[in-house]
Structure 1
Amino acid sequence: MSLENMSNAAVHVALFPNAGMGHLTPFLRLAALLVDRHCRVTVISPQPTVSMAESKHLSRFHSAFPQVSLLPFHLLPLDASTANSDDPFFLQFEAIRRSCCLLPSLLASASPPLSAFVCDVTLISPVLPITESLRLPIFILFTSSARMLSLFSSVSRFIPSISEMDSVEIPGVSTIPRSCIPPLLLLPNNVFAKILLEDGPKLPKSCGILVNSFEALELNPLESLNSGKVVKELPPVFPIGPFVPCEFEKSENEEQRNSSPLKWLNDQSPGSVVYVSFGSRLGMAREQVREIGNGLMKSGFKFLWVVKDKKVDREEEDDVEKVIGVELMKRLKSNGLVVNEWVDQSDILSHSSVGGFVSHCGWNSVMEAAWHGVPILGWPQIGDQKLNAEVVEKTGWGIWRKTWGWAGENVVRGEEIGDAIDEMMKNEGLKMKAEKVKETARKAVDGGGSSEISVQRLIGEWKKMNDSC
């Protein structure tokens, strides 16, 4: 081992994700990135998980990285009536936040002692007093775009009047129209809004913010955040993405990898398939699901469609034919593959037959599409997704139908969906831009790339903190 690697090995970092695959996935990819740079890593895993997908993901990660300490964090019981939400993900968020009082003994017993603690951006308030009492440097992993970070970090300035504003002006970034502001942020008593309002102003108390993005993709918001234009007291923002998909995320064995949907994709022509997925977080109304089916048939393109009917994957009990309808399902089978099970998205996006991605624009999905150079038809559903869709649209490797609105606002008809898919799949300009984004994404994480330099600077900060203890 080189002197540099020996020095990195002295760095011990604990990672603390929140609920949901959208939060867990970037944390585990960050863990893999740090292990590859010879850091010691501990992952604190809230138990029980909110979904079976998370549980399986953690198990496969632990098998692939036995050198990472995986500490179960058993949650205190939560009275759901006190959380002002019936959403299983927000209930888990609240359970984790309220259980943070159990963290001190877990952190204090770490061996060797921790150099730094990286927590999810939605856990700042309950964790900050604990790390301060332990004199443990705290860093934040922001699991969305730098553009969304610019809103999150400054939102407390707008909250009192945000429900009456037509737009929000972010200094040094841009104007964000009301239609792109996460809808739950406009509901003051909502769990999501309360977390943002409580945690956003405390970002300056952290030692740094990690973002799964890269300079070539989001140069303007990153420069504005780091220059103090957005929030003067903000700590350094480290763009260290895109987080590279890991081998452990692929199908567990060769037999599974040779089953559908990968086997089906192997039989399709290069660039001929539309991949349709709206993430692991939210189900769609069945009327809208069926309009998507009609749109896919109208487009005439082959497709791989991951249908989600419920909010968490353990609830996906209904047969896919029941969700879509027997007659429509018969038509769909003639031109594509429909599944309602967890799939490895990176496996699919990396496949040569996939030529376009109909996506909700969750940030993990956006970054995976960037990594593999796949054009996007953005259809934001909730949260930060319109801001993420703006990043895709402005970079020129995707399109976004703004009139489609948020989830449930409108029923988008199949004819419109089919036309938009046709535009995405036939647009050579999108394909060229997507390939360029892929090149810049991979250059960012290579030796000498902007994100690799940022990673080394971050580890260097941890070494200094370790030496000063």
Structure 2
Amino acid sequence: MAPPHVALFPCSGMGSLTPFLRLAATLAARGCAVAVITLHPTVSAAESDYISSFFSLHPHIKRVEFQPQLSLEKSKFLNIDPFLMQVEAISNSLHLLDPILAALSPPLSAIISDFQVARSMCRFASNNSISAYVLATTSAIFFSILVLLPKINNGGIFQEIGHLQLPGLGPVPFSSIAPQLLDSNHFMSAILDSNIPCLSEVKGILFNSFSELESETIEALNSGRVIPDLAPVLALGPLNSFEEEKAPYNLLPWLDEQAPESVLYVSFGSRMALPMNQILELRDGLEKSGCKFLWVLKTNKVDKDDKEDVQTILGESFLERTKKQGVVIKGWVKQDQILAHPAIGGFLSHCGWNSVTEAARLGVPILAWPLNGDQKLNAEVVEKAGIGLWADWGWRGEVLVAGDDIAKKISELMTAAKVRVKANEVKAKVRLVRSESGGDLDVLLGSLIDQLKPQEK
């Protein structure tokens, strides 16, 4: 039988793109023919650079460019996020993708899509007698919230003061659910709601997660206790970077000079920036902590708009005082290479799911400072797994966190022996799971690839 020919369709933003490209590389390495649908233009420069790097390293993977059409009509939903605006354009243009996918040679045997376009991809798969899968780009607990959103918003979930009682999962604080998800007029709520029904039609739901982080939630999803008739859930994580074995780049010489586990890596991801007054408090907190630090500074949601230099933002005097203590940079970095460096001893993170799984895989303790979206629920996963601490300082911009408080939390993380031991235990268990011959992930991937093969007609 011919190998499976699989198309992967990520949506907007690095949070979606990263796990999709990692899965694409994994499938291609196991003999699958792989095509990746890429958006043109991308919202951020980081996406464009990452895509270019991926295809230069994997020339055997087919690139299928898709340019969504911008609507001239004003959206009927609340939507001012540039990444979500691109998702809305994608949703309105998906009919243009059908003939492109149908013309691929050899014919597709399966398509793996982002949840936000699952309904259209299920329709395409049904019309062309191929298998459809969803790759969830968030944690299993947040995904559970998403599939339960209609019941939550219709009052079908039992509510206590300050909490929701989720079927099969127990209580979740209202404060951990991003407000836009509970607003039926918001585009995010609407797009999720429209795609939920197809989750019983896909052949499987893939997660960049693993049992050391979310065994109970994954089991609850697979048992039907969360929502009946849900497709089988397959935990394929943590997915490897497709470029981490390549030669290091120019940030690492500074790290080479630092003591083992002495440096705090600070990054809030590719789609989120702290308000300017909070950036200045973080600056003060890093200095007061006395801890060595590597800070990836971001001041705008879209990196193309990030024009000011580090000196202008933080001040020459701060950079002079801390020149032996830390390094501040702007722009996209190879985070896996940084987290894998022996000098890194902690990670101050917004708790985007890619960041959580990367840190867990590499044994780096996390100081969780969630800002938006799925991040509070991801922070709870980190805390429950024992691999980090959660600084619950509200959603982005709700409160101004003082530099002194930030310094205390940094010191607490960097001296938290139990957290460090647990993080290293998880790292060791991940190595066993990822064993290339007979490990749990090896067996699971083999089973998935068998399912991806062309259906008998």
Specify the alignment match of 1:409 in structure 2. 398
Deviation at 1:101, TM superposition (A): 0.7
- Please say if 1:200 is aligned against 2:196: yes
- Please say if 1:63 is aligned against 2:56: yes
- Please say if 1:45 is aligned against 2:38: yes
Contact conserved, 1:357 with 1:377, CA < 8 A, in 2?
A: yes
Contact conserved, 1:116 with 1:136, CA < 8 A, in 2?
A: yes
SS class of match (1:158): helix
TM-score of the superposed pair, with normalisation by structure 1: 0.93
Question: Which has the larger helix fraction?
Answer: 1
1:235 to 1:163, Cα distance in 2 relative to 1, 3 A: closer
1:164 to 1:78, Cα distance in 2 relative to 1, 3 A: farther
Specify the alignment match of 1:314 in structure 2. 304
Identity %: 43
Specify the alignment match of 2:238 in structure 1. 242
Whole-angstrom CA distance in 2 between matches of 1:89 and 1:340: 20
Contact conserved, 1:358 with 1:377, CA < 8 A, in 2?
A: yes
Specify the alignment match of 2:376 in structure 1. 386
Specify the alignment match of 1:36 in structure 2. 29
- Please say if 1:184 is aligned against 2:180: yes
Counterpart pick for 1:421 among 410, 416, 436: 410
SS class of match (1:468): coil
Counterpart pick for 1:262 among 244, 252, 255: 252
Counterpart pick for 1:460 among 429, 434, 450: 450
Deviation at 1:401, TM superposition (A): 1.8
Contact conserved, 2:7 with 2:110, CA < 8 A, in 1?
A: yes
Counterpart pick for 2:349 among 345, 355, 359: 359
Where do 1:210-289 residues align within 5 Å? Answer: 210-247=206-243, 257-259=248-250, 261-289=251-279
SS class of match (2:97): helix
Deviation at 1:191, TM superposition (A): 1.2
- Please say if 1:370 is aligned against 2:360: yes
Q: Which runs of 4+ in 1 moved over 6 A?
A: 162-165
Whole-angstrom CA distance in 1 between matches of 2:17 and 2:356: 16
**Equivalenced residues, count:** 453
SS class of match (1:81): coil
Deviation at 1:232, TM superposition (A): 1.2
Instruction: Please list the CA deviations of residues 180-210 of structure 1 after superposition, one character each: whole Å capped at 9, or x if unmatched.
Output: 1122112221111111222223311211100
Amino acid at match of 2:53: R
Contact conserved, 2:158 with 2:164, CA < 8 A, in 1?
A: no
SS class of match (1:439): helix
Counterpart pick for 2:93 among 96, 99, 111: 99
Instruction: Please list the CA deviations of residues 356-391 of structure 1 after superposition, one character each: whole Å capped at 9, or x if unmatched.
Output: 000000000001001110000000011001111111
Deviation at 1:84, TM superposition (A): 3.2
SS class of match (2:105): coil
Whole-angstrom CA distance in 2 between matches of 1:225 and 1:119: 19
1:79 to 1:449, Cα distance in 2 relative to 1, 3 A: farther
Structure 2 unaligned segments of length 5 or more: list them: none
Deviation at 1:231, TM superposition (A): 1.1
* CA-based RMSD: 1.8
Counterpart pick for 2:284 among 281, 294, 305: 294
Deviation at 1:396, TM superposition (A): 0.4
SS class of match (1:198): helix
Specify the alignment match of 1:16 in structure 2. 9
Contact conserved, 1:163 with 1:186, CA < 8 A, in 2?
A: no
TM-score of the superposed pair, with normalisation by structure 2: 0.95
Deviation at 1:258, TM superposition (A): 4.9
Deviation at 1:334, TM superposition (A): 4.1
1:34 to 1:288, Cα distance in 2 relative to 1, 3 A: same
Counterpart pick for 2:68 among 75, 82, 89: 75
Contact conserved, 1:80 with 1:91, CA < 8 A, in 2?
A: no
Whole-angstrom CA distance in 1 between matches of 2:322 and 2:92: 46
